[in-house]
Chain A
């Protein structure tokens, strides 16, 4: 255990992979919503909330990842804590897309499950890192 370095390497790797995966996730989900709107009957007042949630999640993701990286690298617990809070919001939106979307395709289930597990793992690692920084 390197006592001089408190930053968590697994967290850094996970955040990096999460960023790349999220780009793919965003594009795939957007494409699937477009596909669903063409193939199935998707009235506008059902399409609007789904698109809003997706874009909101994308907007939240950027500061979340940035704060995560910064907090981990500078060994400061404040940005990491803020990132944890934003992760909670992202988890809620991800659960919406998994359960309460208008049409949940099998591919949706897979993508959201993977993202949810990544969030879960990240949150665990962040908590551990905060504990390490505080003590």
Chain B
């Protein structure tokens, strides 16, 4: 212990306040104020051991260091008298590599990372023994979905954007990933990750039998981005080199897994997007998605539960025969509150059909420009612009909560429609042509519920159409007017008042016959 010194950090130089430093001379010791390491000792559990004690004698002038080696005795009756186990009180030193154990050590520690349990992620088929087929294979949330040889893979970017095939899909964890894979057209039929077989090859282990992954649909994407759904999705299409292109390359896989309410997987289907890559392409982007559905249910994702969540679409609907229809918001044809989406051409008349859903909490503004020529007739133009602004099916009601049921009529807020006309010249000629030039949707929402976890609730929706008069143009002249549509979300919640529970009252009442004989 006399040679050990923890505070001796600088080589051949004296460390400040380090009394055990051998590089320090007597003059250095006289400048110290205290000893940072007063005692150097082995394990304090031992009954008797040597300890090196360093101290500064500040009384002497100049101060000098006192160094003593004493026998430190542990007075406890449970002190260690002797050990017959060499590594008992020391840290385990790592194995020295020798020619015999070098390969084993390299396997274990040679990668970029190693963990205490390397075998659980091992993809070798001879290391993993398949679980007993008789036991029911139940999954819990987050547990990797097991297949015959390893796990159901969902390639995803790790660290960089390149695809890594070692990402397992977790049960009930809906994921969508995009990653880049390097390709070469000449070897496109030998790269495994580009062929359909790689993704549906293994069957998922579930309950008593194995579930094969079926092909649900195949969409073929051409080089310019156009997608077609193929009618026969039973044929397995493998990548094939055709001249300068490689076709049937997997660009996207969408897994749909069906499970029961006890956690057993009963079905798996994969929808593929196949595409073609040209000779110049060095890398392609693949996108993967997995979603889990419980059997016999139709998934209806909620836009918030109960309050709206910022970023999720606002649910809207119609009320034919006194009933709002529930909105399935995955496609626009089911009445969703939508707003005109600006296109690159910026021409209102050519922009028919492109609409963006209104997301809660996001104020949006979009628009287009309209070229008016002399030949245009007013009424059809006004109608067209109204269609462009409002869309094909503008809803009448908006759900006030993210999870409002279609049957609760009171949970739906009607959309108030206002018309404002900008009239430049105040004339009483109402018959002159009015065309709508802007649609402003104002959604007023409030915070509802408890102070700790307030939920967003839509209280009022107002759609304002501003119209302007269309003056007749002399022939040959054109005018360009901008048409805008906007959505604004306003928080009208009143300041919160905390409500406290009433003080508990002590209710003591004597029974009426307490003083019986006397009263």
Contact = CB atoms under 8 A, between A and B. Distances in A.
Interface of A: 32, 35, 39-41, 46, 99-110
Contacts of A41: 87-88
Interface string B76-99: 111111111101110000000000
B47 interface: yes
7 contacts: A35-B78, A41-B87, A102-B85, A103-B82, A103-B88, A106-B78, A110-B77
Contact of B88 (A40, A108, A110): A40
A99 B81 CA distance: 10
B87 A103 contact: no
A104 B82 contact: yes
A105 B81 contact: yes
B84 A105 contact: no
A41 B80 CA distance: 13
B206 to A, nearest CB: 37
A73 B82 CA distance: 42
> Lowest 8 CB-CB distances: which A-B pairs, in order?
A104-B82, A102-B85, A104-B81, A107-B77, A106-B81, A105-B78, A106-B79, A109-B81
Contacts of B77: 105-107, 110
Interface in B367-405: none
B78 A32 contact: yes
Given A35-B78, A104-B80, A106-B81, 16 more contacts: A40-B89, A41-B88, A46-B85, A101-B84, A102-B85, A102-B88, A103-B88, A104-B81, A104-B83, A105-B77, A105-B78, A106-B78, A106-B80, A107-B77, A109-B81, A110-B77
Interface range for B: 10 to 19
A103 B83 contact: yes
A110 B80 CA distance: 12
Interface string B46-78: 010000000000000000000000000000111
A19 to B, nearest CB: 24
Contacts of B47: 106
A103 B79 contact: no
Contacts of B89: 40
Nearest to A39: B45
A101 B81 CA distance: 11
Nearest to B85: A102
A35 B76 CA distance: 14
B87 A102 contact: no
Contacts of B45: 39-40
